[in-house]
Structure 1
Amino acid sequence: MRRFNDGTKKYTEAGMNGFPESQTAENFKQDKYKLLIVANKFQTGFDQPLLQAMYIDKKLGGVAAVQTLSRLNRVAPGKTTTVVLDFANEADEIEKAFKPYYEKTWLKEGTDPNLLYDYHTRLMDFHIFSDEDVENYARIYFGSSPSVDKLHAALDPIAKRFQESAVEEREKFYRELKGYVRLYAFLSQIITFTDADLEKLYQFGRMLLRKIKLPEERLPVEIQSSIDIDSYRIQKTSSGKIKLGRGEGELEPRIDTGPKSSRSEDLEPLSLIIKEMNQRFGTDFSEKDRFFIQELEAKLDANPSLESSVKVNDPENVKLTFNIVANSIVQDMCETNFKFYKHINDDLDFQKFFFSLLFDRYYKRIKGK
């Protein structure tokens, strides 16, 4: 836990360690540090070969169990064995979590992180933006007072250069930038990058993709093949006036029989979610931020592919798809609530916690249909 308040004193990771939290991973390499206490941060994606023993006192399952215990699977000089002391999980539960990945799951071809640098080189060849443009954007985005207006202003000249380039160049540039953003998003889940420039270009690219459009974007082939425009025609089925007979009519009075949908019932639980997030992460979200969550959940509910996934997959696999869809929707809602958007993007612990709560609510709604 990064922040904790017992009513008399506020405890933070930086305050208890005596150095900024950004230095935790690096300082842990020193001989004087033997134990790292983890709640969620460093549970996954932390690449430290020195880890040799793990003490577990929380429930683990599915991919989370595999990713957490795999923190020990790193080779280091003098390291000959590992040990796990688990106080919360049964051996058969852990075996069940690992089984799908043990003998029958493999990756056909490794993904080379250096491909990101190849993307960067190709993007620079278009001369649509420069490294200095990325730095200027990063100073705003990671600064103390970022805003959507400032970010858009930093990207406007780049978007203009994009629009002024040839159509073919625009298409190639768009594909390269989208490829970089997708690859970084994938690799950052399994690799801890030390090159900050990669993250800067990722944040820069994600926002730029929202500003630039390809000319006359076509529908996906699978959609086009399902539409037969030639078979549609305009046909008159009737004509004339609609006559209303004279006389008296009656209207039934409106009777309030209580809430008609679960949305009104969600108001209080959403308020509790905001309260819990503020307590856990030291945020200052208010009741008005509840509407951001409501809009996000409405967009999730309207996604037919996600709903279909619930019907044919187990919860663990559905959650992987859910996180991807939710993250994509959040990117599109950047201007709706930039503060919420930035917390989700900049704090992985916050993102995991928030998406986990959303998933539990979504899964119950879909299963309850």
Structure 2
Amino acid sequence: MACTRSSRSISRKGFGANSVKLDGSGHYDDFEVERVAAVEMNPRAKQGDLIAAIEPVADRLLKRYKAGQERLRSARERADDVGASDAQDEINALVLFKNDMAAYQRAYSFLSQIFDYGSSTIEKRFLFYKRLTPLLEFGREREGVDLSKVVLTHHNLKNEGQRRLDVSERDESKLTPMTEVGSGSVQEKERARLLEIIERINDLFGADTTDGDQLSYVNTLRDKMLESDALFMQAANNSAAQFANSPTLKEELMNAIIEAFEAHSSLSKQALDSQKVRDGLKEVLLGPAQLYQYLRNRSNDHFPGAAT
């Protein structure tokens, strides 16, 4: 597959906008990120070190949320519309902050299969958000932070090249340092598939959304379409070419776009407004996103004698 842009360009685009937004929220600083990352990377760190690093941040944000709720209740009792609006805005901002951290983690989970982020700020923020997000149980009345979710499992960022775990190889003696996984491996095929999705989706959507958001969107659409009994039956009884020309496929794609609107409003709006984008999405879903193959595999589980 030919790539029209460098891997570095794609990887930066995948996180740039979201990182700037999260950093600009004012809910944490670089010292707090570095402190959590340092604990994760230190093989000698203890559970207490991680708690000491992450608890102050979570406690501060939980108190901000609780204070916002109290201001909102007070303003409503006084019929203070302006005060109530300000308090609600602060509450919404904290909820959005948590959602943005979750989105960052999803993007990282996708793109880390393709790019080696090493000990970069991208990796450190992922570690920080991963620890902070589950502690922000907004709206649950309790004193202090629920630290039962804080369990230290060391994250080693030692640079050992591009080596990744190959589940198809059981013999550990075959793994040698600084050797890339072979081009025929499961990891390389997955990497090529994700890169193809990125390249093709980038041609459909503008620069306002990240690669991670676009990958997540494609997977969301595919998962929703996999729930369609009509598509399931058509995939079971038709060839890939026949399936691609099915009017039901276009209808179910439109239904999936509408259902995904709340979680992916910007991308769904572009898809709803453009037949070209919808056609491009269909090609990606039938191509590297492997919608037909997923449906066929599901049909083979139910109907072992299904036509091929």
Q: Same fold (TM over 0.5)?
A: no
Instruction: Place the TM-score, normalised by the shorter chain, in its bin.
Output: 0.3 to 0.5
Greater C-alpha Rg: 1
TM-score (norm 2): 0.36
Q: Which has the higher helix share?
A: 2
**TM-score w.r.t. structure 1 length?**
0.31
**Larger RCO (CA under 8 A, 6+ residues apart):** 2
